[in-house]
Chains A and B, each alone.
Chain A
Amino acid sequence: MTYNKKVILSKQLPSPSKWRYWDFVYPNDHNPIEEDWYRTLPDDVRDLFDTLLKVNQKTERPKQWTGFRRFLRGGDLQKYGVWELEFKGEDGLARRLMGVFDGAKTAIFLIGCYHKGGNYTPTDALETAARRASLHFQKKAKLRERKVKEDF
């Protein structure tokens, strides 16, 4: 018996089931997310941040992500769709992580910072986020995947 097999290729690739996170990395391999921010966090804030990534990777719509605050407005921030996550550790500091989406369920982290009374620390956090977003979309930067930890 002969079977005629017909293969139909879908025009659209299926959406991945989970979000993947990437750190912005400079061409010289400096990873500002890991080296300048994540490693400086107290244990409890790291635990909270890792849990946040774990929960949000399974949440389809980023606007429903836990801790998702907003898309930032104005200039390049708006142009590149820079958004911010917010969360607070036991030290009471309101932390923000800015990033952009690029591709199916792909989030790129640009900068981690503090926020108090309408001011960011470092004070040029917004400009840095815009500059890094620009470098990323011009393909002048590297990325390093931030794996979600099943354990701490």
Chain B
Amino acid sequence: MSERSKRISKLLESAASRASYIRAKLNVLIPSQIRALRLKRDNMTQKQLAELADMAQPRISKMERPGEEAFNIDTLIRLAAAFKVGLKVEFVPFSEMLAWENGYSQDAFNPTPIEQDNRFLTPAPAVVRAAFPSTWDEYAQLQRTFRQQVRLCYTRYTELANSGNILTGIAGAPAGLTVPVSGIVTYVRGSEPTPQLTEIQVTPRFRFQNIATAVQPVNQLQH
């Protein structure tokens, strides 16, 4: 039996082995992230970080040494707060954990601090005015741009046909909510878009997919 097969057998059979394996990974990846943020992003000394996190400097030193610190969630929260970033703790398949580790780079690790996090500070509004182009060329351009950003939902909305157009596609809106929503409307060729139509009511029976990413302010779509 190969070395790898033996390890896999152990991981399959024993919770202790799995715990050790996970711990070994995190005992490197957490210190590495702390070093990345402290040294590369913020150019801080351990003492400065210690003051921000309300900890002693030797504790920071210890946390940067692989395997030295048994991290608990509260410690990580305090560090995240000091670094002005969020914290995501998620149970994932082993393959995903390995992919994270393989793709991780200490030099490239650079989460945005809260004061520069525009997606957090000024998120796309829940109600977004729809982009209603006035010409087919403009429409085609918007659609090209839009296609790159979201997956369009090709659903026919016959209820809206009385607006003068048959709407064949729309993106955006929380599923099942009766809120005015937005998106690029795909018009049936032959009928010109109606510029005065700026909002569409969506009833609960319409189901949308990939909603969160679909909600984009019109001015961002054109970037």
Contact = CB atoms under 8 A, between A and B. Distances in A.
Interface of A: 43-45, 47-48, 51-52, 54-56, 58-60, 64, 66-67, 86-90, 150-152
B133 interface: no
B107 A48 contact: no
A58 B106 contact: yes
B66 A48 contact: yes
Contacts of B21: 43-44, 47, 152
A60 B108 CA distance: 10
Nearest to A95: B67
Nearest to A152: B7
11 contacts: A43-B7, A43-B17, A47-B20, A48-B24, A54-B101, A55-B29, A87-B65, A87-B67, A88-B68, A90-B23, A150-B102
Nearest to A52: B28
A44 B68 contact: no
B24 A66 contact: no
Contacts of A90: 20, 23, 67
Contacts of A54: 101-102
Contacts of B28: 48, 51-52, 55, 66-67, 87
Contacts of A150: 98, 102
Interface stretch (B31-39, B71-79, B150-158, B170-178): B31-39
B207 interface: no
B98 A66 contact: no
Contacts of A45: 24
Contacts of B40: 64
B4 interface: yes
A51 B106 contact: no
Main secondary structure of the interface of A (DSSP, over half): mixed
Contacts of A86: 65-66
Interface in B20-55: 20-21, 23-25, 27-29, 31-32, 35, 39-40
Given A47-B20, A64-B40, A152-B4, A88 B105 contact: no
A64 B38 CA distance: 10
B29 A51 contact: yes
A150 B100 CA distance: 11
A66 B31 contact: yes
B31 A67 contact: yes
B106 A59 contact: yes
A64 B35 contact: yes
B24 A47 contact: yes
Contacts of B20: 43-44, 47, 90
A58 B36 CA distance: 12
A-B pairs with lowest CB-CB distance, top 9: A47-B24, A88-B67, A87-B66, A44-B20, A48-B24, A66-B32, A51-B28, A58-B105, A59-B106
